[in-house]
Amino acid sequence: MVANGAGPDGNDDARDASEDSQRTDEVTGEKDQNGEMEGLAEQMSELARSLQVEDDPQEVLAHLVRAAIELVPGTDEGSISVVTGRRDVQSHAPSSDLPQKVDALQSETKQGPCLDAVYEHQTVTVPDLASEQRWPKFSRKAAELGAASMLSFQLYVEGDNLGALNLYGRTPHAFTEDSEQVGLLIASHAAIAFADATKLGHMRDALRSRDVIGQAKGILMERYGLTAQNAFIMLTQASSHTNIKLLDVAEHLATTGALPSHRRRS
């Protein structure tokens, strides 16, 4: 008697069972991968919807940083860094003191990913800051602060000015290829949101300036019986005589009821 699975027929049965098992594993793997992609797509859609209803520029940026920390594998901290003149680095919406300190360190040492590589590349990975040789002074001190890994995404470049989404891991080699792929998706949203937030901030500043100058003109018009045009001329003359910005002159008048009378030292 031939034991079950033995002999030629038994070998065929075993081979068929192995092939069936392999196909099942492949199908299961594809389903898992598809499920992950669908889940990520849903999260990105939710992020986009939440950004559409948010009108505070800083809160938009903070929302993006929180999303990056939640969605990008290996991320512990994050911020959006703004570099001006390839010299000064400032943190916007930092998740903790760590990103702020690391950005300050880049300004202090005049080296680091935001002052170098991110100008040239869309994505910069720093697997282990403790052994990183591209920016030795910066890397060593950043590691001492508690940043073990970095992942930076370029948001925009305008001449010598730059914006970047910086993510930090507190362990070496925290970021993977998946981290880069998901990070690039979020960075694309961040680039648009950052531009919109900047425009919104400028718009609000312009509206505020218009309102303050309008209040100051109204005070002068009522007090001296001036037209709107002559009241504006009076404000500009006060600005010129005192060497104080027009908006500051208007704000001083609107809050105190008087024009500034002393020339500001330059």
Tens of pLDDT, residue by residue over 10-22, are 555 555 555 555 5
Q: What is the pLDDT of residues 109-156, one digit of tens each?
A: 999 998 888 888 889 999 999 999 999 999 999 999 999 999 999 888
CATH number at residue 229: 1.10.10.10
Residue 266: the pLDDT is: 45
Residue 59 lies in a domain: yes
Q: And the tokens for 7?
A: 């002999």
> Cβ neighbours of residue 65 under 8 Å, at least 6 residues apart?
78, 79, 80, 93, 94, 95, 165
Number of domains in the chain: 2
Which residue reads 């002559």 in tokens? Answer: 230
Residue 103 has pLDDT above 80, yes or no: yes
What is residue 50's predicted lDDT score, i.e. its pLDDT? 59
Residue 134 placed within a domain: yes
Q: What's the gap between Cα 109 and its chain centre?
A: 22
pLDDT tens column, 30-66: 445 555 556 555 665 566 555 555 556 677 788 889 8
Helix (H, G, I), strand (E, B) or coil at 79: strand
- Asked whether residue 4 carries a pLDDT value surpassing 50, the answer given is no
- Residue 160 within a domain: yes
Residue 19 maps to a domain: no
Do both 84 and 176 map to the same domain? Answer: yes
CA-CA distance, 56 to 95, in Å (whole number)? 17
Residues 139, 129 contacting (CB under 8 angstroms): yes
Q: Is the dihedral of CA 194, 195, 196, 198 positive or negative?
A: positive
pTM of the model: 0.60
